[in-house]
Amino acid sequence: MEELRVLSPTAILGYGFPIKSFEEGMKRHPHVIAVDAGSTDPGPYYLGAGLSFTDRNAVKRDLEIMLTAAMEEGIPVIIGSAGGSGGEPHLNWNVSIIKEIAWEKGLQFKMAIIHAEIEKELALSELEKGRITPLYPAPELTREELEQTVRIVGQMGMEPFIKALEQEVQVIVAGRAYDPAVFAALAVQKGYDRGLAIHMGKILECASIAATPGSGSDCMIGYLGKDYFKVEPLNPVRKCTTLSVAAHTLYEKTNPYILPGPGGVLDLTETKFEQETDRVVKVSGSKFIPSEKYTIKLEGAKKIGYRTISIAGTRDPIMISQIDEIIKGVRERVEDNFKDAEMKYFLDFKVYGKNGVMGPLEPQEEINGHELGIIIEAVAEDQATANTICSFARSTMLHYGYEGRVSTAGNLAFPYSPSDFKAGEVYTFNLYHLMEVNDPNQWFPIDIEIAGGRIGFED
Amino acid sequence: MALKIKLIDVAQVIRSKNSGPYELTFDIIFKDWESFDEFCNAKVINKELIAKLYQIPAEKVINVIEFKPAKAIKATIERPIASGELGETDVYGAQQHAPLLNLEFEL
């Protein structure tokens, strides 16, 4: 069985890579270039608002290099979790970038677009059938909660990619997908072991993060054999060591031995990591264990209002020593001032220098620094109310007369004018659940298109 | 008398990160096998310790796992506030590791 080579240029499409590393990768004649474009890490806003957390120019730069090289070499490019969150607006955004590149570079190719956004009505009907269950520790899902969701995506496994590959497309761009799927699909289609293909995908999805020194913006290549795979970073300054690769297996995982995904779990209890050369690590023994029922992960976000923040600082030791009482006093004043207006709002003070980073998990009680950074935050049903609450809390705090105050001109230093910033819509995750499916392709329709091709250009 | 060992002296990586929006996971990767084995045998990094350190009930500590291939001990907790929720302070969860840096053990 010939080794199957998979090139991963970057950890997230748009994070970039040195062109030299990419060229090193192309010299090794990969069978596919694959890239993961998404994550839930940047939080619920991007899923809810339908925007990408990566920049359009940066994504276009990466794709331009990948698409041009792949067309020359005659190999496919596979993109998963397009636009970061993989919903319809995210996918359309990414497709428009691909089409623009095809047009500008005079490329023409057959492209599969795989959708991953799930209509609310369909999800509601699945919920009624008892086919949606929480992914612990996410809370139980109610019909009311699901109805508030503005966007739902399903995390596809590798099956829709394989289905697209069967139609001999040169580019696949997919909505939300299980990260390793883009790297594993071609291998599994060609009969390579599913467990090893997924495990290799788990490492390649973060590109050179699994090397040392690690980087999310540098290329990595994987070589998949019959009963092993190898990973090699493509920048000579980096190395893969058994430790750097094994350590990556821990990253962002609850249990590094058992990694659940669409249709089953990746079992690493018998995995062996061996140093092949000083830069290449060989992995074997990873197994895929199919589950009884095929489930996919659902992610959803709901809109809860609008945010306004004000950034300030204090350098006064008397004020710092009373910061908790002052905040309590400001809260009471805000509440009292608008008690007849029946405003619904959330008011919060992030106090950097005290517990601004860790909040309720902060074990240290005393403040040791000589200054504090304060973010006053208001969230309300509309922007105007959020502005009102934030503005009023800010002016109240600025002139709050606390015990023993000697600095009577003002309590806060504002680094900017205006002092308040409208942060716009606020979303939270309200869906992080598993849904049972009869067919892994069921929720992920595929469109086939021809991209690019200027009239008369080919002659 | 047993010597006190600072975790930061025997670990090369101490980090935190989200494992999905509802969990925080901590990785402690040791410098050498000797320290890793010593810590594993002594079972000093356990659910109770993590609960105490982060002032959460022990049942909110989902697991503590020894992962030999990486010379690592890993703990995962339920987030008190989900990533991106109102009042939350660390969307990526990448800055919740500091209390582990101060740990000292008598082994």
Q: Which residues are CB-neighbours of A207 under 8 A, at least 6 positions away?
A: A8, A9, A10, A11, A17, A215, A216, A217, A218, A219, A220
Torsion of CA B95, B96, B102, B103, to 10 degrees: -140
Partner residue opposite B86 with nearest CB, options A45, A250, A379: A379
Residue B73 lies in a domain: yes
Question: Worst-scoring range by mean pLDDT, A112-126, A135-149, A228-242, B29-43?
Answer: A135-149
Does some domain include residue B92? no
CATH at B45:
3.30.70
CB atoms B18 and A252 under 8 Å: yes
ipTM above 0.85, yes or no: yes
Domain containing B33 equals 4-87+97-106
Q: Going by DSSP bridges, is the β-strand pair B61-67/B72-78 parallel, antiparallel, or unpaired?
A: antiparallel
CB-nearest partner of B20 from A268, A271, A432 = A432
Total domains in chain B come to 1
For residue A71, pLDDT over 60 is answered with: yes
Q: Is residue B14 part of a domain?
A: yes
What's chain B's average pLDDT? 95
Task: Show residues of chain A in contact with B75, CB under 8 Å.
Answer: none
- Distance (Å, rounded) from C-alpha A287 to C-alpha A267? 5
Is residue B42 included in any domain, yes or no? Answer: yes
Residue A284, classed as helix, strand or coil, is strand
Among B18, B86, B89, beta carbon nearest to A41: B18
CA distance A119 to A222: 36
Q: In this prediction, what percent of chain A has a pLDDT beyond 90? A: 94
Indicate whether B83 belongs to any domain: yes
Say what the pLDDT of residue A456 is: 45
**Tens digit of pLDDT for each residue in A341-385?**
989 999 999 999 999 999 999 999 999 999 999 999 999 999 999
pLDDT at A212 over 50: yes
The chain B residues in contact with chain A (CB within 8 A) are: 13, 17-23, 25, 27, 29, 53-56, 62-63, 65, 67, 69-72, 74, 76, 78-92, 95-96, 98-99
